[in-house]
Amino acid sequence: MKKNIAIVMGGYSSEKEISKKSGSVVTKFLSKEKYNVYPVLITKNKWYYLDELGNESEINKADFSLTINDRPLHFDCVFNAIHGTPGEDGLLQAYLELIGIPQTACNYYQAALTFNKRDLLSTLKPYGIPCATSLPYNKGDEINTSKIIDVVGLPCFVKANKAGSSYGISKVYKAKELPQAIENALQEDDEVIIESFLDGTEVSVGVITYQGEVRVLPITEIVSDNDFFDYEAKYQGRSQEITPARLTEEQHKTVSELALKIYKVLKLKGYTRSEFIFVNNIPHLLEVNTTPGLTEESILPQQAKVAGISLEELFGSAIEDALMNK
């Protein structure tokens, strides 16, 4: 019998529209010969299945089930395509684990940890993972610009601590710009991370579990037309994403081994995409994404294509791995 698969998308953050695009691509390419596929929208107000005719059927949150034509429908697995909360920060993972439904992303603790940039970097530092110098800021803290600049220098980056897709991020050149940059980040999260500027080649490294084995995908070099890889560069074509990246053999080896080490140290599973900047041939970690974009133009699908993995194979493998390890 074919398995019933819910493809969850949407979420509660600014990334919900991007998530819907990712979920639509998964819905399109996941094999209908192997699976019964149900796109499920997660919003703050309701969770519901949306059929091909636009009819909504509400999800029963007690057991994540549906009722269609007066008959109950239970899911064998959830494909997690939510960027941001609640799919990337561990909330959905914890809920699904409690009710016993396998899902394709990493487990709830790993999701919460990787979603919190400063906690992630603090966890990885003892393992010798290079990263930028940074300072935390919480909503309501005094903004001591001279102290910030003494630690991180100028220019620097001000980021929302728990947000993705380049929301709430600013590059700051002058001390007087810091308060507004912090306020901008606080629109996305009540925690902020302020990082030193790293000047070098930026790359994105996909590490996934594919057909039961952990695999590093071909690396992507990111060349932004803008001042940095912001939302416009990432989603509106204002960047070049070159796969495979133009790296030396030594650089390729170093960053691949580092991304693989992070995946294993954190006990991740499913898809991940880690961002690095090379400074003096040393890759410095920026962040780890555990539910990366899955549109046909997104970086991870580009990397899979270069590796000879079709979207149907990529998505199907995630389902099979989740079912096998439930």
CA distance 104 to 271: 8
Average pLDDT for 191-204: 95
Strand order in the sheet with 134-138: 134-138, 191-196, 156-160, 170-172
By residue count, the chain amounts to 326
Q: Among 11-15, 26-30, 252-256, 313-317, which stretch is predicted with the lowest mean pLDDT?
A: 11-15
CA 95 to chain centre: 19
Classify residue 237 as exposed, middle or buried by CB count within 10 Å of its CB (0-12, 13-18, 19+).
Answer: exposed
pTM: 0.91
Go through 185-216 and write b for each residue having 16 or more CB atoms within 10 A of its CB, e for each that does not.
bbebbebbbbbbbbeebbbbbbbbbbeeeebb
Q: Which residue has the tokens 């080896």?
A: 253
At 80-112, the pLDDT tens digits run 999 999 999 999 999 999 999 999 999 999 999
Amino acid 119: pLDDT: 96
What's the average model confidence in pLDDT over 138-152? 95
